[in-house]
Amino acid sequence: MSASTKRALSLILSAGLVVASLFIYATLISPEYADVKNLRGELSSKSDLLNNQKTSIDQVRKLIAQYQGVAKLGESLSLALPEDESVSSIMAQINAISQASGLTVQSVGINYLPAKPAIIKLTSAKGIGSLKLDLKLVGSYSAIKNFLQSMETNIRVMDAQSLKIESVQSSSQSKAGTQDIFNFTLSVNTYYQAK
């Protein structure tokens, strides 16, 4: 075979390979490439949908957490400002505070004060009722200070209105000198949600 024939065959073979590669590209690769582009578009849209749903789920979880926080706030509010007088609860709290402070409760007088209507005219807004407690206590000056501090930080809202201090006079005290024992008359207001 001559050199020109070899060259001609190699050119024909090269042209045949180019035509074959164009045929393969046109019949096999090009349609699949279009399918790949469609699948990539679907993947992108589904990924965006997934991200949007994740964002929505996160927002719903945050709202649920906020709602639970509001529910806990409502529970705390009902402890601080109960829905009824709860006289037994008040007495238990006064007794516990006095025992922890080192005071002795001699007597308790309870007066129901008129309820104040709600400032906001809503169906859920209730008025505020109040009870006046007249307490007679015996103990030391430091004990009444502790009692007032404990009452200030108590979960139920209580306001000290007046305090009267009298020294205790007895025959044993006059012999031993003055002691740090006093009679206390304390007026306290506590509140509840009026119906």
- Read off the CATH number of the domain in which 159 is found: 3.30.70.60
The SS3 assignment for 52 reads helix
Q: Are residues 53 and 69 in the same domain?
A: yes
CA dihedral sign of residues 99, 102, 108, 114: negative
Question: What was the pLDDT predicted at 109?
Answer: 94
Q: Are residues 65 and 50 in the same domain?
A: yes
Q: Are residues 96 and 181 in the same domain?
A: yes
* Closest CA relative to residue 192, chosen from 83, 37, 29, 48: 83
Question: What was the pLDDT predicted at 135?
Answer: 96
Q: Are residues 55 and 28 in the same domain?
A: yes
Mean pLDDT by 10 residues, the chain (195 residues): 84 89 84 86 91 90 80 75 87 94 94 77 68 95 94 90 87 55 94 82
pTM of the model as a whole: 0.58
Q: Are residues 152 and 113 in the same domain?
A: yes
Question: What was the pLDDT predicted at 75?
Answer: 75
Question: What was the pLDDT predicted at 108?
Answer: 94
Question: What was the pLDDT predicted at 72?
Answer: 75
Rounded Cα distance between 123 and 128, Å, is 14
Q: Are residues 75 and 97 in the same domain?
A: no
Domain of 67, in residue numbers:
1-80
Question: What was the pLDDT predicted at 84?
Answer: 83
Length reported for the chain: 195
Q: Are residues 32 and 124 in the same domain?
A: no
Q: Are residues 45 and 101 in the same domain?
A: no
**Contact indicator for 173, 179 with CB cutoff of 8 Å:** yes
Give the domain-ending residue among 51, 80, 109: 80
Question: What was the pLDDT predicted at 122?
Answer: 52
Question: What was the pLDDT predicted at 144?
Answer: 94
Rounded Cα distance between 133 and 80, Å, is 17
Q: Are residues 73 and 95 in the same domain?
A: no
**Contact indicator for 81, 118 with CB cutoff of 8 Å:** no
Give the domain-ending residue among 80, 100, 131: 80
Question: What was the pLDDT predicted at 170?
Answer: 59
Question: What was the pLDDT predicted at 161?
Answer: 94
Q: Are residues 50 and 115 in the same domain?
A: no
Q: Are residues 93 and 178 in the same domain?
A: yes
